[in-house]
Structure formats: structure tokens, C-alpha cells
Amino acid sequence: MFNFKALLDSLPIMGLGMLGIFIVIGLIMAIIWILGKAFSEKKDNQ
């Protein structure tokens, strides 16, 4: 039988898990962007 109360009780835990995943993805993207800026090859116009 489907337990609707259990579903509602688990939603905040699942929400925190998804938030954690998005935070980690954002941190990885920021680190890659910073490393790209720090170690990018400068092109000379001459």
C-alpha cells in the first residue's frame, strides 16, 4: 500500500540532497572557470 505520509516526510531529505548536488556542481564549475582564467594562454596581437 502507498504511504503518503512517508512520501511527505521524505521530501525535505530529498530536497537537501538535490541542493547538495547543485552546490557541488556549482563549486566544480567555479573552480574550472577560475583555473581557466588563471592558466589561460595569452594571445599576442603582433
At residue 10, the pLDDT reads 97
**Grid cell for residue 34:** 577560475
At residue 1, the pLDDT reads 84
At residue 45, the pLDDT reads 66
User: What string of pLDDT tens digits covers the 46 residues of the chain?
Assistant: 889 999 999 999 999 999 999 999 999 999 999 999 999 887 766 6
pTM for this entry:
0.72
Could you give the 3-state DSSP secondary structure of residue 25?
helix
Closest CA to 35 of 27, 43, 23: 27
**Grid cell for residue 14:** 530529498
